[in-house]
Amino acid sequence: MRKFNYLLLIILIPVFIKAQDTSFVKKDSIKHLHEVIIEAEKDNDFGITRLKQIEGTAIYAGKKTEVILLNDVNGNIATNNSRQIFAKVAGLNIWESDGAGIQLGIGGRGLSPNRVSNFNTRQNGYDMSADALGYPESYYTPPMEALERIEVVRGAASLQYGTQFGGFINFKLRQAPEKKAIEVRAKQTAASFGFYNAFTSVAGTIKKVSYSTFYQYKVGNGWRTNSKFDVHTAFAGLAYQLNSKLKISGEYTFMNYLAHQPGGLTDKQFAKDPKQSNRERNWFGVNWNLAAVNLDYVINETSRINWRTFGLYAQRDALGNLGRIDRTDAGAERDYLQDKFRNYGSEFRYLKSYNLFKKISTFLIGARYYKGITFRKQGLGNKEKTPDFYYINPDNVEHSNYTFPSENVAFFSENIFRITPKLNVTPGIRLEYINTNSKGYYHEESSDLAGNILYERNVQDNRSSYRSFILAGLGLGYKLNKCIETYTNFSQNYRSINFNDMRIVNPNSMVDNNLKDESGYSSDIGIRGNIKSLVNFDMSFFFLKYNNRIGSIQKVDSTTYQVYRYRTNVSDSRNYGLESFVEADIFKLIAGKNRKLGISIFTNFSFITAEYINSKEPSVKNGNSVELVPEKINRAGITISYKDLKITYQHAYTSEQYTEATNAKSTSAAVDGLIPAYSVMDFSLSYIYKRFSVSSGINNLLNTYYFTRRADAYPGPGIIPSDGRSVYFTLGIKL
């Protein structure tokens, strides 16, 4: 680390001179300087590091960041096992209801894990979710075999990446090798329950052109009955380095999958047999087409530009029985919900380093335009058991038919002021204009206790919402020495209501027609460091204030007397707690860092208190726990390594959590209730020999029966059990 700092200083001396007098800089030095900004150096072998103050055209000074290095993760990569991949990121609540890793479900600091909807999710820096404003859920998750790293930035990311309380996650795909015309990577994985995964990538660089491609095929029967899946994912990227300053690249991602969903369970059914299923007609399909064009231009050694434009053409189909899970599927027409996503956006960034009071400061300014439109239909499908995605009455669907247009214009800026060699201050601001609309109708009907329909009608429902506002923030960083830094930040946050908050027909839930957007702020204070690649740590306290928080409460239908989930602006809330991560290579500490044997131990612990205040609902008492917030999350493990052999044991514990704001412990339909505390253990082994690699392991070592989610719709309703014990084996080759 010390040698790298000296090297960095030597390389940057010309930049400092240039900022004061351009006549002192040689022209041929310019082409090398920007690489210091782009490349993140690996400063340990623990599998996790942090973002530097400046990466590309982004500023991260004073923010809480984590970078997961996939090459160093010893776990079940083929199934995107989030429990292992995100093991060293503190404070994450993980939904483990998808054993194949098709969809990612993580939430931080007391926010819902539902399809990463509380993070701004990106791939290689551009949006990948269904609709960044109106429906920020990610049905697509990149294959972990294709990734170089995962970048995570907490709440202070709102100023640069938009209005999400959770922060920012960027999946950075593996880059093409610079000095090889062709490089081939291939992995074959077989696992329990008929799981098979094949991944192949081909990449290289020929003169000024670099290319990168991969294809993944994933298939399996699932742990439960009625839970088959078939997934195809492909990617192609091409980049052209026109000269030493200008680089243009284009990327295309395709994913298509079909999943047979076993539905949910009641508490009694789960206790009796969590592998059972009483839904055999439920299916879920996704088709994802994501494209992007990226331009990087180095104006000079102190200034650079990035301009990225992206678009999404996608569709998801959900077909099945959404009725109460404690009722038998009588074979009637299935409910069919279809979404079509059509959106595009463009983001421009300009980064400039300049001399201020004999110190180098860095200025960032950017702009973003986003246009999205979602077409949503909900009506009756056929009575069959097969995945036939069509409406019985396509011209007049029975439940609802909507168009949801959205538009966003944003300007943002941050500046690193280096007050002293140790102290930096980073203020930031973001100006937002948001326009969301809904155009369409929903079906309304009333029936008596015998089920006879008293009246029914289609209700036109056209709404528009325009708003503009300013978000501000401030970050500070102070280096205690070369290895240890303290940091603190504060930033305002905002989150607009999404399409699901506007209208969806579901017998298990209803939505308040007068929902309001959410606002608030978040802050961090912490200390972090990496000491001689022997000890890596990050300990911080956070505070998250949420105004008009949208949540769920239980209500009783006045006609049928059935309990249902009601989604509304429940109350204000405050989340605060401790997030800590420490890892040390015990053997190197004792015997010296040049030894071939390594024994590293890590612990990742969070303690979070999240409670409602200023309650607007009589059934929600002040001090009630916010839903989906386990008070304690602890993940710990040990890795023993010898040369290229690694053996890892990991233990994960998550305390109990509620699923709605009244803190009900159980309901007859199992949509709401307590999620009990659970512990899971994993064992992994990997070995690399020249061009070959072998890995194997056991997930859920003790075959623990547990669940992390209660769903009110697909893939439920009801309890969604997590997978039992499974064994996997992977063979890989790199040419």
Whole-number pLDDT of residue 17: 31
The whole-angstrom separation of Cα 454 and Cα 443 is 14
Whole-number pLDDT of residue 189: 97
Whole-number pLDDT of residue 19: 35
Give, for 9, the enclosing helix (H) or strand (E): helix 2-20
Whether CATH 2.40.170.20 fits 40-734? yes
**Average of per-residue pLDDT values in the chain:** 89
pLDDT band of residue 37 (cuts 50, 70, 90) is very low
Which range, of 34-43, 229-238, 427-436, 675-684, averages the lowest pLDDT? 34-43
pLDDT (tens digit per residue) in 375-409? 999 999 999 999 999 999 999 999 999 999 999 99
Looking at residue 44, the DSSP 8-state letter turns out to be -
Whole-number pLDDT of residue 45: 62
Whole-number pLDDT of residue 499: 73
Cβ burial, residue 629 (10 Å; 0-12/13-18/19+): buried
Phi then psi dihedrals of residue 82, to 5 deg = -65, -35
Q: Which residues contact 273 (CB under 8 A, 6 or more apart)?
A: none
Task: Give me the residue spans of the domains in the chain.
Answer: 1-29, 40-734
Q: Which residues contact 613 (CB under 8 A, 6 or more apart)?
A: 571, 572, 573, 574, 622, 623
pTM of the model: 0.91
User: Please, are residues 225 and 193 in contact by the beta-carbon 8 Å criterion?
Assistant: no
User: Please, are residues 58 and 160 in contact by the beta-carbon 8 Å criterion?
Assistant: yes
